[in-house]
């Protein structure tokens, strides 16, 4: 059986976190040459290339189990240190989350955790369809994801659903969409819409459900959740916003809902199947918050994704 030296595995993770050998050297207080020698030694032990030396460096697929091992070992070591009364060094907790959760409900539970525990969070933002891959690679210890089936070596808990509605300003609606029902489809083909980024197909799905060619409307792209909502409120176009984000503007009339069914996006919490006091505390806080603020799962079982 191959034995992976913990120090070498930790060095690999540090290089990936910092993005360069020089950055890892500064963090570990050694020379870049020493970092390079450690990585080379680990690659020789495993008989595999672990790093692609680009800027930033990238892990090969062979590195993924080593990264997971190193991060899990660090969590267990931190738990043991706290049990022995040594909590001077905060635990680094890398987590993955989708942009809309990050901008609406995800941060308050982390703030509560940071008040009670010596922990620092390293957040990776990605589409919820892709966050599970960060668990598989060992990049993160837990993730908010649309994937209901557990990643290998992980456990999964349902959180609830983000409910999205198509919204626009009253002025935008009056200019582009205030027309007879028979003409609504034609008007939507011409009305500018806003996508979050090139992975965002929520507006596309909503248009298709209404029988409208999604290639027809002009599209803006605004790849930041707060700025995306601001662009809608400024009348740049229409878009689907999570109800958690748009409710106040709908209540005060700044935004109006467009006709059409809301889109429900089921979310799940996945984390490594590892008994760690800190990781379990994170899961408990996040799952409780998700279930408090997200909509209950739709009994119809409809699934859409952003």
* Inside any domain, residue 245: yes
Query: Could you tell me if 50 and 66 are in contact, meaning their C-beta atoms sit under 8 angstroms apart?
Result: yes
Q: Which CATH number is 178's domain given?
A: 3.40.190.10
Domain residues for the domain of 59 are: 1-84
Round to whole Å and give the CA distance between 138 and 132: 10
3-state SS class at 137? coil
CA distances from residue 30 to 24, 220, 291 in whole angstroms, order as listed = 8, 47, 45
Q: Final residue of a domain: which of 60, 84, 108?
A: 84
> In the listed set 38, 61, 84, which residue is the last one of a domain according to the structure?
84
The distance from CA 190 to its chain's CA centroid, rounded to whole angstroms, is 32
Beta strands per DSSP E along 213-275: 219-221, 239-242, 256-257, 263-272
Cite the beta strand spans of the chain per DSSP E.
51-52, 58-59, 91-97, 119-125, 142-145, 154-168, 193-195, 219-221, 239-242, 256-257, 263-272
- Looking at residue 182, its pLDDT comes to 58
Q: Tell me: the pLDDT tens digits for 174-231?
A: 999 876 555 777 889 999 999 999 888 899 999 999 889 999 999 999 998 889 999 9
Please give the DSSP secondary-structure letter assigned to residue 295. Answer: B
3-state secondary structure of 289: helix
The torsion angle over the Cα atoms of residues 81, 85, 87 and 91, rounded to 10 degrees, is: 30
* pLDDT per residue as tens digits for the range 87-105: 768 889 999 999 999 999 9
In this structure, is residue 24 part of a structural domain? yes
**Domain stop point among 39, 62, 84:** 84
Question: What is the CATH number for 58?
Answer: 1.10.10.10
Domain assignment present for residue 96? The answer is: no
Question: Does any domain span residue 113?
Answer: no
Residues 168, 258, single domain; the answer is yes
Total domains in the fold of the chain: 2
CA pair distance 128, 144, nearest whole angstrom:
7
Please report whether residue 45 resides in a domain.
yes
For 233-282, how does the pLDDT look when each residue is reduced to its tens digit (9 = 90+)? Answer: 999 999 999 999 999 999 999 999 998 899 999 999 999 998 899 999 99
Q: Is the peptide bond before 57 cis (omega within 30 degrees of 0)?
A: no
Whether the predicted pLDDT of 304 surpasses 60: no
208 DSSP assignment: H
% of the chain surpassing 70 pLDDT? 95
- Residue 138 lies inside a defined structural domain of this protein: no
Question: Is the residue at 188 inside a domain?
Answer: yes
Q: How many CB atoms lie within 10 A of CB 90?
A: 14
Report how far residue 241's alpha carbon sits from residue 228's, in angstroms, rounded to the nearest whole number: 9
Q: Classify residue 121: in a domain, yes or no.
A: no
Residues 167 and 257 in one domain: yes
């Amino acid at each position: 059986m191959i034995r992976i030296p913990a120090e070498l595995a930790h060095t690999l993770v540090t290089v990936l976190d910092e993005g360069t050998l020089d950055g890892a050297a500064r963090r570990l207080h050694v020379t870049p040459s020493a970092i390079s020698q450690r990585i080379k030694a680990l690659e020789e032990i495993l008989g595999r290339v672990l790093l692609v030396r680009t800027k930033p460096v990238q892990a090969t697929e062979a590195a993924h189990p080593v990264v997971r091992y190193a991060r899990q070992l660090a969590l267990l070591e931190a738990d043991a240190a706290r049990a022995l009364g040594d909590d001077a060094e905060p635990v680094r907790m890398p987590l993955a989350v989708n942009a809309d959760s990050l901008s609406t409900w995800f941060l308050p539970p982390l703030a509560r955790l940071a008040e009670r525990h010596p922990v620092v969070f390293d957040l990776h933002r990605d589409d919820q369809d892709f966050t599970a891959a960060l668990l598989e690679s060992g990049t993160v210890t837990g993730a908010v994801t649309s994937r209901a089936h557990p990643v290998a070596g992980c456990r999964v808990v349902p959180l609830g659903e983000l409910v999205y509605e198509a919204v626009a300003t009253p002025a935008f609606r009056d200019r582009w969409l205030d027309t007879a029902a028979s003409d609504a489809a034609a008007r939507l083909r011409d009305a500018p819409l806003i996508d979050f980024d090139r992975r965002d197909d929520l507006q596309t799905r909503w248009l298709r459900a209404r029988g409208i060619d999604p290639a027809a409307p002009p599209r803006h792209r605004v790849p930041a959740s707060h700025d995306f909502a601001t662009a809608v409120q400024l009348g740049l176009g229409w878009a689907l916003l999570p109800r958690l984000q748009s409710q106040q503007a709908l209540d005060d009339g700044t935004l109006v809902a467009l006709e059409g069914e809301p889109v429900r996006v089921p979310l799940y919490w996945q984390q490594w199947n590892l008994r760690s006091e800190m990781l379990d505390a994170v899961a408990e806080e996040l799952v409780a918050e998700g279930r408090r603020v997200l909509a209950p799962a739709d009994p119809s079982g409809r699934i859409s994704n952003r």
